[in-house]
Amino acid sequence: MRQSIYLAVFLLTACSAPKIQEEVETSKFETIGSVERLDSAINSLIAADAKIEVLASGFEWAEGPLWLEEQQALIFTDVPTNKVWKWTEEDSLSLYLSPSGYLGDRTDKREPGANGLTLDAAGNLILCQHGERQIGKMLASLDSPKSEFETLVGEYEGKRFNSPNDLVFNSKGQLFFTDPPYGMDPWDEKQLDFQGVYRLEKDGKVNLLVDSLSRPNGIALNPDEKVLYVAQSDPEKARYYAFDLDENGNVISGKVLFDATSIQGPNRKGLPDGLKVHSNGTLFATGPGGVLVISPEGKHLGTVLTENGTANCGFDSDEKYLYMTADGYLMRIGLK
């Protein structure tokens, strides 16, 4: 992990009035990348002088950033190494959970670890567990994590999931999640002949919402929970979809919100992956180049260019920062 120092300069004003001590703070982290601004609306979200800070590095494929408010900490997964890491401003990086997504003995699995993370209404950690091909609940508190899990859901109509990837709760406690095959190994039996988007009810019932997407990945809800966003990590159809929901969480219509297929290129690594929705409705969606900033109407406002394939992103509780997992890095950028 790149190390840096915290700089503080104390300025004393020499005048007849009482001297006032003022602390001037500069970033203690190395910076990287830039912000592409395609529409002035992005300026209300990201300041002109905002920098992308590298908080930690050395991971194989970082994913699933989740802010823990009580701990003032960010946790995130490293999928190939089967670990969850914890980062705080004061204590930097520490191992949070290992193993995270696969509890067996094989050592040759490609992506065994947890991927997307979230919290339920009771504050329990909920994980998309690639290796176990399920969504699990950690049976320990957030401040004393242990690799002990309860299966929330692991199959649909008696068939095992592929590898649940990302997830989001609504205010009713319904859990929406995606199930692409990225966490499967060549020897795994694929029991479903599609890649689904599902809704898990509080009573354990599983509902298939969408079965037509080739690679459903990141998933999020808009602020009023009437629109479900799904990213598709398909280089031939690199898209973000918007599905209108009824009051019960059923899909009633859908459309392509933004097609990023044409902006892929050697200088814009990555595909549509994880995404989050700002409280004002703007999407922050990982994809070609970094994190695309997209209006609810589907207008591309700009991109946080991370110089790396970017897997996922997430806000802290007051949306002061956008945290990003980009290949082997954990990054952040300040928001207005």
Residue 225 to residue 273: CA distance in whole angstroms: 20
Please check if 165 is assigned to a binding site.
Answer: yes
Q: Could you tell me if residue 328 is left (phi over 0), alpha (psi between -120 and 50 degrees) or otherwise beta?
A: alpha
Residue 114 to residue 100: CA distance in whole angstroms: 5
Residue 312 to residue 325: CA distance in whole angstroms: 5
Closest by CA to 33, choosing from 46, 45, 50, 17, is: 50
318 carries an active-site annotation: no
Please check if 63 is assigned to a binding site.
Answer: yes
The residue to which tokens 């459309």 are assigned: 255
**Sequence-ordered list of residues with C-beta below 8 angstroms from that of 315, at least 6 positions apart, any chain:** 67, 276, 278, 284, 321, 322, 323, 335
Please check if 115 is assigned to a binding site.
Answer: no
Compute, in degrees rounded to 10, the torsion defined by CA atoms 9, 10, 13, 19: 170
Q: How far is the CA of 58 from the CAs of 208, 215, 249, 291, in angstroms?
A: 37, 27, 40, 20
| Cis, peptide link before residue 288, omega less than 30° from 0 | no
Q: Could you count the other beta carbons within 10 Å of the beta carbon of residue 208?
A: 15
Compute, in degrees rounded to 10, the torsion defined by CA atoms 212, 134, 83, 293: 30
Please check if 162 is assigned to a binding site.
Answer: no
Catalytic choice (188, 273, 318, 327) = 273
Q: Are 177 and 200 in contact (CB under 8 A)?
A: yes
Phi then psi for residue 252, to 5 deg, are -110, -20
Residue 50 to residue 77: CA distance in whole angstroms: 26
Binding-site residues sit at: 63, 165, 217, 273
Binding-site residues for substrate sit at: 165
List active site positions: 273
Binding-site residues for a divalent metal cation sit at: 63, 217, 273
